Structure formats: C-alpha cells, structure tokens
Structure 1
Amino acid sequence: MTRLAARTTVLLTAVALVGAGAAVLAGCSATPGGTDAGTDAGTGTSATAHATAGALGAGFSDPTRPPAPEATIHPEPGSWSGVHAPDGYDVVLLSDAGDAEDAPTRTLLDTVASWAADEDVTVTTVSATDADDRIAAVTRAIDERSDLVISVGNHMVDPLAAVSPTALHQQFLVVGAEIAEPTSNVTAADWTGGGFRGEGLGPSSHYDPSTFTEERADRALRAGLAAVLHDLRGIVVWVR
C-alpha cells in the first residue's frame, strides 16, 4: 500500500468512527443549530467575549479586506497585545501524552500553562493515551464544551482534521502546526520552522524544532487567540 493510500484509509476510518457521533455532538447544544444560548451561531464565542477581549492594533489585518477562508495573514508584531482572554474564559489543552517529552511540544504545553496563569484562564487538559486514542481524545475535548480547544503537537493534527468538521460549534486553535484544509472553526498560529500539516503532506515551511522557543510560542498563542476572539477564523496567523 502506498503512503498516500494508507493516509486515505486512516482518514476515512477516522471519519467513519466520528460520523455517528456528529449528530450527538450537535444535539448537545442548548439551542437549535449547535450553539449555546447567548452564543454566536457556529462560533462558540459569546457577545460578552467580543466586548471584553480588547481591540486589535493597527497592522493585525486589513479591516476593509477580511481574509478569505484558509488564507494566511501576517500581523505586525505586537498588534495583538491589546487583546486578552475575557473574564471566565476557559480552554481545553489537547495533546498526545506520548509527546510530553518531545521538546517542541513540551515548549508549547508550558507556554499555554504560563499564558493561562497570566490571563487567569481555566485550563482542562485532555491527552490521548496512545495512537488509537487520538480520535477519541478530540471528541473528549469537544465534550468539555469549552470556549476554545487549543491543540499542540504534530500527532494531533490528523485526528483534529478528521473530527473538527463534525463539530462546527466548537472553536479550535492549533499552535505550531496547521490543518491543510481547515473548516471555519479551526484557526492556526504558526511561523517559519513550524507548519506541520499532517502525515503525507509537506509542511508549509521547513520544519525546525529549534524555532519552538517559549517567546515565539507565546507570540503565536496570543496572536492566534486575538484572531479567534475577533472572528478571524479558519485561517493561518503567521507570526515572525
């Protein structure tokens, strides 16, 4: 079996496993259409969040020309610094337990923990126990019904790509990697040296583990969150 055929088989199997659960996930919403009462349709973000997140600075994006789906934007450094997690914001940190000692993933995990402490954000950790548990881990993360699921580590990219289209009510932020064809609920924050897009697909930039520094990861996380909170979703936020 070729590598492409093997990848296709894996993704088709993943979609089959989660397809039956899609209706259940949609049905868990408090209102029709897969959203909670008081929440923007299909976004998982409340009106209060928009009001209290803070404003984007000049150069984050062109407000007269919103980015197209799957587009890449290049915010000016610091243009996201005025945006912060709203009061009561909660996230799920999704990863693979086997990546805990992988240096780039460890940096991302530590960065999210540090950011959460600084922003007073509640974090629930969901980890896949092994390769066979990754699809289920994404589903568990969705079941937490958080404001945002932050995914870190290359091993979670393919499972997230398989499951996220069935959970459009849940917002995802991938840090240090990206999904090749994201739906509107998946935003990525990346940089030159990151950019893993899944097994069998070339990275959007040359993969370089040494670029996964705490400072760069923090920039990406904060810029990605700023995009999510201001409805710039389903895109790649590329930081310097």
Structure 2
Amino acid sequence: MLLRALAATTAAAVLLLSLTGCATDDWTTPRAEPTIVGTPGAGFHPETAPSPEATVVPADGSWRGVSPSPGYRVVLLTSGTDATTDVLNAAVQQWASSEGVSLRTVVADESGAIPAIVDAMDMKPDLIVSTGESLIDALATVTPNHLDVSFLVLGAELAEPTDNVTAVDWTGAGFRGEGLGSATHFDEDSFTPKRGDAAIRAGAAAVLTGMTGVVLWID
C-alpha cells in the first residue's frame, strides 16, 4: 500500500510539473523577436551571395558557436518511423534542449502530410524543421504559398525551393521528391548522430543569418 501511495504521489508530481512547464511555455504570449547569438566561423558564407536554389558548401564546423536567442520557437514536423528519421529527430531534440529552444512536434503520416504542415504553421513558430521523405512533395505544394513561414528540411530537399525553404544534405542523403528520387546514392549509414547534429546546427545557422532558399552540403 505504501509503495502504491508513493507511486501515485510521484505520478501526480510529474503531471503537475508537466502542466507547469506547458503553462510557462505558452506560445500565445507576446515576446520580443528572436535574435542570433554568436556568428558563424570563416567559410560558412560563400564569398559572393548565393543565387536562389544554389548549393552552398560551408567549411566544416563553421556553424559552431551560432545559437538562437533563448525561447526560439521551433516545430519539428516529422513523418515516418525509419531509422534515418529517428536519428534526425533525436538530433533536433538534443539541439533544442542544449540551446534553450522551445520545441513542439507535429507527426504526419502519408495521407495527412498537408494537414500536418498546416497544423505546424498554425502554431506560428519561428521555424519549422522537417524530417522524413514523405513530407517533401507536400512541402513543395504548400511552401510557395506561405513565404512568411521559415522551413528547414534535413536530409532531403525540394526540387525548386522558394526563399523560405532551406535544406541540409550530404552524400548519402538528398531525396528530392516529385519523382526525382535522391540526388545521390542513398546510404542509411550516412545518417549518424554526428551528422544529424551538424545538419540541424548548420541549417539553423543559415536561417538565423538569412542565408535561405539554398541547399547546404555538409560533407
């Protein structure tokens, strides 16, 4: 009986903490515009401004030292339960935790990709981070009509991205949708925790510094 009582008390405490956390993380509360903390290292930006849809190859690790201001609001929009998507999701979650990012998640399935994207946009985040190949075609349909919403695609890319869509790819990734398949030979083993961490950090640094509408190649 004592163990049951303790368990019930612990569960109630966890629930209270969870509810309290939600209350202090209310996205409807007005706040100052997010800012960038730090600056990218040498070689992150090309010498001349990249053209729309260009592929940019930043110097390895040049995105380190760049963070969003605390409370930066991000929606992780994800689809699929494959190992590659799981690696990217874990990287986004770890990045959010280490950088003080306010993170929410929207999970889509193949039949509900567009409604899921709309749900993510309705939260009015600072950035929507997309993981999962099945979202690409739906993103290609939705994103040109919502240029005021910032999207970051990890491990895949849109064939013709608008300025509000940035992607991060590497050898072994590069799925483009619209019947185009992968830009390179797909390699599940290329989706490592280290590369996932580099992808979200490089992509966030690009968005925060205004280098959008391009593909970052992080090999």
Partner residue, 1:108? 88
Per-residue Cα deviation, 1:58-95 (whole angstroms, up to 9, x for no partner): 01122x41100000111111111021121220100001
One-letter identity of the residue aligned with 2:103: V
Is residue 160 of structure 1 aligned with residue 139 of structure 2? yes
Partner residue, 2:125? 146
One-letter identity of the residue aligned with 2:189: S
Name structure 2 gaps, 5 residues minimum: 1-29
Paired residue for 2:150, among 167, 171, 196? 171
What is the distance in 1 between the residues matched to 2:31 and 2:148?
13
8 Å CA contact retained: 2:173, 2:190: yes
Alignment of 1:46-65 (within 5 A): 46=33, 48-49=34-35, 52-62=36-46, 64-65=47-48
What is the distance in 2 between the residues matched to 1:232 and 1:124?
24
Paired residue for 1:78, among 55, 61, 83? 61
Give how far 1:38 is off.
10
Alignment of 1:17-36 (within 5 A): none
Paired residue for 2:107, among 103, 118, 127? 127
Partner residue, 2:201? 222
RMSD, aligned CA: 1.6
What is the distance in 1 between the residues matched to 2:54 and 2:203?
14
8 Å CA contact retained: 1:149, 1:172: yes
What is the distance in 2 between the residues matched to 1:217 and 1:53?
21
Paired residue for 2:164, among 185, 194, 207? 185
SS at match of 2:78: strand
SS at match of 2:68: coil
Per-residue Cα deviation, 1:96-151 (whole angstroms, up to 9, x for no partner): 2xx12x000011111111111111111111111x3221111011111110000000
8 Å CA contact retained: 1:91, 1:147: yes
Give how far 1:202 is off.
3.3
What is the distance in 1 between the residues matched to 2:173 and 2:189?
10
From the CA coordinates, give the structure whose radius of gyration is larger.
2
What is the distance in 2 between the residues matched to 1:56 and 1:93?
23
One-letter identity of the residue aligned with 1:106: D
Name structure 1 gaps, 5 residues minimum: 1-36, 40-45
TM-score if structure 1 supplies the norm length?
A: 0.76
8 Å CA contact retained: 1:53, 1:229: no
Label 1:135 to 1:79 Cα distance change in 2 as closer, same or farther (>3 A).
same
What is the distance in 2 between the residues matched to 1:94 and 1:119?
19
Percentage of matched positions with identical amino acids: 48
8 Å CA contact retained: 1:150, 1:175: yes
TM-score if structure 2 supplies the norm length?
A: 0.83
SS at match of 2:201: helix
